C-alpha cells in the first residue's frame, strides 16, 4: 500500500484520497438537479471555479480504479458475495441503519477535516504534515473512546 | 524527474489514466489486506484484530521513506508535493466527527468502496450515508464556514515544528510504529474472540 502511495507521489505529486471523489459527484448531482440553486450558492460557485469539470478529477478516476482493484482481488480470492457483515448479536436492519448513520458522519467530517483517512491521515502523515497527524489522532482517538458505546455492533 | 505530471513529462489525460491505474493498485492492496471487512476494521478498536492498524502505519511509513529515498536520488522534487494545510479547529473537529462515523459505520470512505466492490451491502449503505453527509456539508456551508477556516497555520511539517530533519523524524516514527505493532500482537492474543477468526475468508 505504501508503494502505491509513493507511485502516486511520483506520478502526480499528490497522495491517495477518497472523499474528494464523492464530493465531485455530489456537486455534479446538485448542479444537474438544481442548476439555479448552484448559481446562487457561493460554496458551489467557488468549488466550480477551481474544479470546472468535477467529474474529470484525479480522485474520481482513482476511486473508479479502487472499485475495479477491490473487485479483482475479491474475485481472485473467492470473496465475491452479497452479504451484510456484522456482529452475530445484531440484526441486519440495525447494522444497515448504523452503516448509513456512520456514513453521514464520516461524509460530513471528511469535508470539515479536508480529507478522510486516505487523503488527510494516510497521505498527510506520509508527507509529515501537521494537519495529517492531527486529523489521524482525532479520528482514531475518537473511535477508540467511543468504541465502548458501540461495542454491541461489533463484538 | 518526478512528479511526472507537475514537471509536464506526462499530459493531463495520461495523469488521469494513471490515476485509474493507481486506484486499481490501491483497491487491490486494500482488499488483499482485509480492509473490505468492517469487522476487521472495527477490530482495531477492540483489540481482537489490529491488522488494519499495522498495515495503515506501515503504508504511511513506506510513503514517508519512499519520498525520502526518491528525493535523495533526485528522482522527485519534494517542493512540488502537495502538503495538507493545517486548519487546527476543522482538522480536530472533522477528525472527531469522522471517528464517530468510523465506529458506527465500520468503514472509512476508501474502504467502503473497496468493500462494496466485493458485495458488502453494509458498505453500500455507508456510501449512501456519505453522500447525505457531504450534501449536508455543502448545503449548510455558511453555518460552519468560520469554524472551517479558523486557526490556519499554513502547511507546516511536523518535523520542522519539532526542529528535526525529515530523516530523523521519519526514523522516530518507525520506532513508534514498531512499538505499536508489538502492542497490536499482544492485544490480538489478549482480546481474541471465539466468534471471530483472524484472516478469515
Q: Please tell me the predicted confidence (pLDDT) of residue B199.
A: 59
Q: Quick one: what percent of chain A has pLDDT higher than 90?
A: 97
Query: Are A110 and B103 in contact (CB < 8 Å)?
Result: no
Name the one residue in this structure whose C-alpha cell is 477535516.
Answer: A113
Query: In this predicted model, which residue has the larger pLDDT, B201 or A63?
Result: A63
Report the candidate in A1, A76, A74, A10 with the shortest Cα–Cα distance to residue B18. A10
Return the C-alpha cell found at B132.
447525505
**Please, where are the H alpha helices in B73-139?**
88-105, 109-117, 121-139
Q: Confirm or reject contact between B159 and chain A (CB < 8 A).
A: yes
Q: Confirm or reject contact between B29 and chain A (CB < 8 A).
A: yes
Please report the sign of the dihedral spanned by the C-alpha atoms of residue A118, residue A123, residue A124, residue A125: positive
Which residues in chain A have Cβ-Cβ distances shorter than 8 Å to B112?
103
DSSP B195: T
User: Residue A62 belongs to what H/E stretch?
Assistant: helix A58-77
Average pLDDT over residues A54-69: 96
The whole-angstrom separation of Cα A20 and Cα A81 is: 28
pLDDT confidence bin for B1, thresholds 50/70/90: confident
Reported as a single tens digit per residue, the pLDDT across A79-95 is 999 999 998 899 999 99
Strand partners, B152: B87
Return the C-alpha cell found at A4.
502505491
Reported as a single tens digit per residue, the pLDDT across A102-134 is 999 999 999 999 999 999 999 999 999 999 999
pLDDT above 70 (res B200): no
Reported as a single tens digit per residue, the pLDDT across B98-140 is 999 999 999 999 999 999 999 999 999 999 999 999 999 999 9
Q: Please tell me the predicted confidence (pLDDT) of residue B123.
A: 97
Name the one residue in this structure whose C-alpha cell is 488483499.
Answer: B32
The whole-angstrom separation of Cα A74 and Cα A80 is: 6
Return the C-alpha cell found at B20.
485509474
The whole-angstrom separation of Cα A98 and Cα A85 is: 12
Average pLDDT over residues B40-50: 95
B187 CA: distance to closest CA in chain A (Å): 14
pLDDT confidence bin for B26, thresholds 50/70/90: very high
Return the C-alpha cell found at B27.
483497491
Q: Confirm or reject contact between A105 and chain B (CB < 8 A).
A: yes
Average pLDDT over residues B11-35: 95
Q: Quick one: closest CA in B to A143, which residue?
A: B99
Name the residue facing A43 among B65, B119, B141 (closest C-beta).
B141
Q: What are the DSSP calls for A86-142, one per residue?
A: --TTS-HHHHHHHHHHHHHHHHHHHHHTTS-IIIIIIHHHHTTBHHHHHHHHHHHHH
pLDDT above 60 (res B201): no
Mapped onto helix, strand or coil, the DSSP state of residue A16 is coil
Question: What pTM does this model have?
Answer: 0.95
Q: Please tell me the predicted confidence (pLDDT) of residue A155.
A: 86
pLDDT above 70 (res A10): yes
Q: Please give the ipTM for the structure prediction.
A: 0.96
Burial of A25 (0-12, 13-18, 19+ CB in 10 A): middle
Reported as a single tens digit per residue, the pLDDT across B152-178 is 999 999 999 999 999 999 999 999 999
Query: Are B136 and A103 in contact (CB < 8 Å)?
Result: no
Mean of per-residue pLDDT scores for chain B: 94
Query: Are B113 and A79 in contact (CB < 8 Å)?
Result: no
Query: Are B6 and A61 in contact (CB < 8 Å)?
Result: no
Q: Confirm or reject contact between A102 and chain B (CB < 8 A).
A: yes
Name the one residue in this structure whose C-alpha cell is 482481488.
Answer: A73
Amino acid at each position: 500500500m505504501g508503494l502505491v502511495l509513493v507511485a502516486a507521489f511520483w506520478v502526480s505529486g499528490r497522495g491517495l484520497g477518497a472523499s474528494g471523489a464523492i464530493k465531485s459527484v455530489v456537486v455534479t448531482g446538485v448542479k444537474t438537479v438544481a442548476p439555479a440553486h448552484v448559481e446562487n450558492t457561493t460554496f458551489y460557485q467557488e468549488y466550480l471555479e477551481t474544479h470546472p469539470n468535477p467529474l474529470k478529477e484525479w480522485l474520481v478516476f482513482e476511486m473508479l480504479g479502487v472499485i475495479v482493484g477491490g473487485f479483482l482481488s475479491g474475485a481472485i480470492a473467492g470473496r465475491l458475495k452479497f452479504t451484510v457483515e456484522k456482529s452475530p448479536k445484531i440484526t441486519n436492519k440495525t447494522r444497515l441503519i448504523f452503516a448509513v448513520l456512520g456514513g453521514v458522519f464520516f461524509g460530513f467530517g471528511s469535508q470539515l477535516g479536508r480529507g478522510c483517512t486516505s487523503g488527510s491521515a494516510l497521505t498527510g502523515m506520509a508527507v509529515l504534515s501537521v494537519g495529517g497527524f492531527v486529523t489521524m489522532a482525532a479520528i482514531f482517538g475518537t473511535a477508540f473512546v467511543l468504541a465502548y458505546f458501540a461495542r454491541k455492533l461489533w463484538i | 524527474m518526478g512528479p511526472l505530471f507537475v514537471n509536464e513529462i506526462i499530459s493531463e489525460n495520461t495523469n488521469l489514466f494513471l490515476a485509474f491505474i493507481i486506484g486499481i493498485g490501491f483497491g487491490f492492496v486494500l482488499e488483499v489486506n482485509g480492509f473490505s471487512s468492517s469487522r476487521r476494521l472495527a477490530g482495531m478498536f477492540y483489540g481482537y484484530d489490529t491488522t488494519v492498524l499495522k498495515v495503515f502505519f506501515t503504508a504511511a511509513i513506506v510513503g514517508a521513506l519512499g519520498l525520502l529515498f526518491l528525493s535523495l536520488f533526485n528522482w522527485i522534487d519534494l517542493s512540488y508535493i502537495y502538503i495538507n494545510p493545517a486548519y487546527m479547529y476543522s482538522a480536530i473537529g472533522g477528525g472527531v466527527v469522522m471517528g464517530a462515523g468510523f465506529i458506527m459505520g465500520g468503514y472509512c470512505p476508501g474502504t467502503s468502496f473497496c468493500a462494496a466492490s466485493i458485495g458488502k451491502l453494509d458498505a453500500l449503505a455507508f456510501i449512501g450515508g456519505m453522500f447525505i453527509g457531504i450534501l449536508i456539508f455543502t448545503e449548510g456551508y455558511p453555518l460552519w464556514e468560520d469554524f472551517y477556516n479558523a486557526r490556519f497555520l499554513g502547511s507546516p511539517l511536523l518535523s520542522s515544528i519539532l526542529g528535526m530533519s525529515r530523516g530523523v523524524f521519519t526514523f522516530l516514527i518507525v520506532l513508534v510504529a514498531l512499538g505499536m505493532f508489538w502492542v497490536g500482537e499482544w492485544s490480538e492474543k489478549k482480546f481474541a474472540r471465539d466468534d471471530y477468526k483472524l484472516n478469515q475468508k
